[in-house]
Amino acid sequence: MKVSYNVLQYFVAWGKSVDYNIIGKEEVTRTVSHKIPATTGFYAQHFPKYLKGFEGCYDRHTDVYGRRAINRWTLKPEYIEDRPQYSISVTYTEYEVEFTEKGKKEIKRRYDIHKRNLEKYARLMG
C-alpha cells in the first residue's frame, strides 16, 4: 500500500513499536493550480513566496498593534471578479508499506470507531 508520511505518522504512538514495515520509497511531484486568494492573511514584512509575480494584483495594508506593524495584502477590486490562477509544485515521499498483524488490528479498530460515529451522525441528520 502506498501512503504519505502524513498517514504514517498516526500509526506510531510515542514509546511504542512500529506497526508497519517500509518496503520502498518514491519521490512524487504534484502541481496544484488555484485562483489567487482574496487576502493573503497576516505576514510580518514580506509578500507570500507562493504568490511571487502577483504583487501587482494586491494592495498592501499595514495594521499597527502597539509598537508592532503587521502587513496584509488584499486583492485589488479589478481582480475580484476574474482572479488569475497560480500554480505550485510540491515534492513529497510516498512510502510502500506492509502492515503487521498488530497494525491491521489497529486499523480495523480505528475504522470501527469512525464507522460507529458516522452512523450516529447519519441518524442525527435524519
Distance CA 104, CA 101 (A): 5
Dihedral sign of CA atoms 52, 56, 57, 62 in order: positive
Residue 8 pLDDT > 90, yes or no?
A: no
Q: What pTM value is reported for the model?
A: 0.59
For the sheet containing 68-75, what is the strand order? Answer: 39-43, 68-75, 58-65
The whole-number pLDDT of residue 47 equals 86
Residue 23 has pLDDT above 90, yes or no: yes
**Based on the domain organization, do 92 and 77 belong to the same domain?**
no
Residue 119 — left, alpha, or beta (φ > 0 → left; ψ -120 to 50 → alpha)?
alpha
Sign for the pseudo-dihedral over CA of 34, 76, 73, 52? positive
Residues 25 and 61 in one domain: no
For the chain, what is the domain count? 2
Q: What angle do CA 88, 56, 41 make, to 5 degrees?
A: 60
Query: What are the pLDDT digits (tens) for 78-114?
Result: 999 999 999 989 999 999 999 889 888 888 988 999 9
Read off the C-alpha cell for 10: 498516526
Check residues 45 and 51 and name the one with the higher pLDDT: 51
Does one domain contain both 1 and 22? yes
Confidence at residue 92, expressed as pLDDT on a 0 to 100 scale? 92
- Domain extent at residue 21: 1-32+87-126
Task: Give pLDDT, residue 16.
Answer: 66
